[in-house]
């Protein structure tokens, strides 16, 4: 019995009258894939994981279930993330690097707290089409006890970036009290803004963050070291 995937033979006659055998080209066999196409990016795997965590519960969802929903193997999952905790946070280390670069690139003429306010708001800015996903992410981080405990490491990294910037501006080591105080307070402001945002569906996150850091700025303005260049006042104000 013949099929389209087998070789077919046919005999033709050439110009000399001799018969020759020609082999038909082999027809390509399309690959067969069952179920969902495999996820091939961090973003897609995050989306699938966050959806499962939200609908089934974080503790109740296994890595095998995430991998199965994404159409990938358990081994492939670990090429993207070391644990399901890390999936919730996404590529946070890369975001921290961008925050550090943004703060380092801030002109010295910009006051310390104004620079910090702008950088924190920008760091947490989310595109409109990702707001729903980000809301799921933060609801998990702030609402699941095991995830919040795991977040200690992430929060420490975030505070370190802030303390480094503040320390450089005030002429002190980042581990000293004032840089650490600003860093811890800034994190508290961010968490408070996120908590308010999650409690009020339909509100915008950015104004809440901006307001929170603005309130913080009142208490820490004026601490910059005299050795750090600041903007010169206008001539008519001297």
Tens of pLDDT, residue by residue over 111-150, are 999 999 999 999 999 999 999 999 999 999 999 999 999 8
Residue 137 has a CB neighbour count (10 Å cut-off) of 22
Q: Residue 167, CB half-sphere, CA atoms under 13 Å: how many? A: 15
Percent of the chain with pLDDT over 90: 70
Q: How high is the mean pLDDT of the chain?
A: 83
What residues contact residue 231 under an 8 Å CB cut-off, 6+ apart?
Answer: 109, 110, 111
Percent of the chain with pLDDT over 70: 76
Q: What is the pTM of this model?
A: 0.75
Answer for the pair 120, 176: CB distance below 8 angstroms, yes or no: no
> Mean of the pLDDT values across residues 22-50?
59
> Mean of the pLDDT values across residues 38-49?
81
Least confident among 2-6, 64-68, 168-172: 2-6
Of the candidates 113, 130, 75, the residue with the CA atom closest to the CA atom of residue 216: 113
pLDDT at 219: 75
Q: Rounded to the nearest 10 degrees, what angle do helices 131-143 and 42-56 cross at?
A: 60
Q: CA dihedral in degrees (225, 231, 233, 235; nearest 10)?
A: 130
Does 34 score more than 80 pLDDT?
no
Does 32 score more than 90 pLDDT?
no
Q: pLDDT tens, 159-172?
A: 999 999 999 999 99
Answer for the pair 105, 70: CB distance below 8 angstroms, yes or no: no
Does 19 score more than 70 pLDDT?
no
pLDDT at 220: 78
What residues contact residue 90 under an 8 Å CB cut-off, 6+ apart?
Answer: 42, 46, 137
How many Å apart are CA 95 and CA 198, to the nearest integer? 22
pLDDT at 16: 46
pLDDT-derived band at 223, boundaries 50, 70, 90: low
Least confident among 39-43, 65-69, 227-231: 227-231
Q: How far is CA 83 from CA 14, 42, 74, in A?
A: 67, 13, 11
pLDDT-derived band at 218, boundaries 50, 70, 90: confident
Does 65 score more than 90 pLDDT?
yes
């Amino acid at each position: 019995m013949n099929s389209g995937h087998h070789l077919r033979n046919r005999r033709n006659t050439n110009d000399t009258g001799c018969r020759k055998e020609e082999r038909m080209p082999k027809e390509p066999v399309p690959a067969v894939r069952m179920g969902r196409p495999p996820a091939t990016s961090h973003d897609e795997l995050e989306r699938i994981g966050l959806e499962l965590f939200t609908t089934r519960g974080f503790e109740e969802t296994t890595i095998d279930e995430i991998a199965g929903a994404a159409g990938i193997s358990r081994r492939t999952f670990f090429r993207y993330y070391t644990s399901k905790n890390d999936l919730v946070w996404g590529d946070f280390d890369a975001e921290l690097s961008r925050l550090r670069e943004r703060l380092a690139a801030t002109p010295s003429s910009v006051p310390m707290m104004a620079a910090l306010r702008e950088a924190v708001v920008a760091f947490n800015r989310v595109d409109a089409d990702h707001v729903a996903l980000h809301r799921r992410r933060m609801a998990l981080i702030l609402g699941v006890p095991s995830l919040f405990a795991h977040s200690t490491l992430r929060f420490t990294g975030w505070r370190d970036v802030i303390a480094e910037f503040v320390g450089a501006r005030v002429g002190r080591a980042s581990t000293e009290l004032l840089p650490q105080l600003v860093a811890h307070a800034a994190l508290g402001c961010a968490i408070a803004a996120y908590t308010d945002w999650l409690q009020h569906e339909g509100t915008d996150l950015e104004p809440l963050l901006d307001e929170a850091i603005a309130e913080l700025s009142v208490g820490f303005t004026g601490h910059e070291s005299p050795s750090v260049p600041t903007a010169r006042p206008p001539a008519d104000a001297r």
